[in-house]
Amino acid sequence: MFERFTDRARRVVVLAQEEARRLNHNYIGTEHLLLGLIHEGEGVAAKALESLGVSLDGVREQVQEITGQGQRSPSRGIPFTQRAKKVLELALREALGLGHARVGTEHILLGIIRDGEGVAAQVLVKLGADLNRVRQQVIRLLPGEARETSRTGASAGTAAGPQKWTPLASAVLDQFGLNLTQTAAENKLDPVIGREQEMERVMQVLSRRTKNNPVLIGEPGVGKTAVVEGLAQAIVRGDVPETIKDKQLYTLDLGSLVAGSRYRGDFEERLKKVLKEIRTRGDIILFIDEIHTLVGAGAAEGAIDAASILKPMLARGELQTIGATTLDEYRKHIEKDAALERRFQPIQVKEPSVADAIEILKGLRDRYEA
């Protein structure tokens, strides 16, 4: 992620670590990022906060009051809290939404405000800084073009309370897949009826710390893809756990990845480009229908297949995937590959009952009679 940060933004991260050490904290939270932003002193964020009367000493005092002083100085590298990681992901989203190629100090501050619930946001409120006003001041200090982008809504929402889901385009992912959440936002997906139990289970698995890649298993036509489309609609509504609220759900078309790859390594290069984009963005859940086709996909003489490329990212938690396949194909291709199999959590999808099928038809009737 940090390769997209400006030098000033990287310095903020270093200063945040120093502030954590100064307080003997063995973690880097949003409060330390806020301290780093002010300590840096030269960026848009520091200038915006200074203009609103927010000082380094004032923030330090409030942080110490809320979190206290640690007992001993941490000896090794200090990890980010989950909320701090989320703020940095939101900073990237803010930069992309404003049409900026790199993440600056202003985007980190906008990420803190957009999250709105961390210690940093609490400190700003305690110091009398209205979060909406802080955001407006940041936007005011941006170049004119970025201000216009922000006014049209590309950078998403207000600071107070939960943010509505907003789509973010990706040239690489749009070339080889489809943004299901954007399709859902445009009301182009059929309503999903009677799959609440399966959708709830998928959300539970996605929210886990490990083995958080669900694979939907069922006979052809039972509604595996419908479960994923239902999840996309739930993300747009905001009716999902906090851990996946800001995610973009993309379906990957393996056929378009393979198509036209005449030379050895063409497919591998395309897939790696897609995976690099996912790793950089940090907000993508990938849906792969017929996931068993990963095993052997793109493998030519001297080349490696798609599954072998995906496994390291799945192991490191850099990629979240929802798969779909039949029971026979799962046993034949995925269960046999122990390294691949242990990354996935199977979820059975059975055909709907007669009563459920009638409800589904009733729910879809208006779409077909229109």
Give me the CATH number covering residue 14. 1.10.1780.10
**166 part of a folded domain:** no
Pair (246, 302) in one structural domain? yes
Is 158 within a domain?
no
Domain boundary among 99, 116, 151: 151
User: Are 50 and 195 found together in one domain?
Assistant: no
What DSSP line would sit under 312-333, residue for residue? HHHHHT--EEEEEE-HHHIIII
Domain closes at, from 95, 118, 151: 151
The boundaries of the domain holding residue 259 are: 171-369
Q: Tell me if 276 is assigned to some domain.
A: yes
* Number of Cβ atoms within 10 Å of the Cβ of 69: 9
In a domain? residue 329? yes
- The CA–CA distances, whole Å, from 197 to 91, 231, 265, 363 equal 34, 12, 41, 18
Same-domain check for residues 177 and 284: yes
Last residue of a domain, one of 151, 183, 215: 151
- Dump pLDDT digits (tens) for 323-360: 999 999 999 888 888 888 888 999 999 888 888 788 87
Euclidean distance between CA atoms 73 and 71, whole angstroms: 7
Q: Let me know whether 178 and 97 are in one domain.
A: no
- For residue 153, what pLDDT is reported? 43
Give the per-residue pLDDT at 168: 60
Rounded to two decimals, what is the model's pTM? 0.56
Do 227 and 337 belong to one domain? Answer: yes
Q: What is the pLDDT of residue 143?
A: 64
* The Cα angle at residue 354 between residues 237 and 225, in degrees rounded to 5: 40
- Same domain for 220 and 344? yes
Give the pLDDT score at 145. Answer: 41
pLDDT on residue 251 = 92
Q: Quick one: 176 and 52 in the same domain?
A: no
Give domain status of residue 279, yes or no.
yes
State the pLDDT at residue 167. Answer: 56
- Please list the residues that pair with 284 across neighbouring strands: 248
Indicate if 289 and 358 belong to the same structural domain.
yes
In a domain, 91, yes or no: yes
Is residue 193 domain-shared with residue 309, that is, in the same domain? yes
Distance from the Cα of residue 276 to its chain's centroid: 14
What's the pLDDT score for residue 277? 82
Q: Which residues of the chain have pLDDT under 50?
A: 145-164, 298-303
Residue type, position 344, single letter = F
Supply the CATH number for residue 266's domain.
3.40.50.300
Instruction: Assess whether 193 and 330 both reside in one domain.
Output: yes
In contact, 3 and 276? CB cutoff 8 Å: no
* Dihedrals phi, psi of 218, to nearest 5 degrees: -175, 165
Q: Check whether residue 271 and residue 329 sit in a common domain.
A: yes
- The pLDDT, as a whole number, for residue 58 is 84
Token couple for 334: 């995925």
237, amino acid identity: R
Same domain, 42 and 95: yes
- Does some domain include residue 293? yes
Per-residue pLDDT tens digits for 212-269: 999 999 999 888 999 999 999 999 888 888 888 878 899 988 777 777 666 657 778 8
Total structural domains within the chain: 2
- Answer whether residue 163 is part of any domain: no
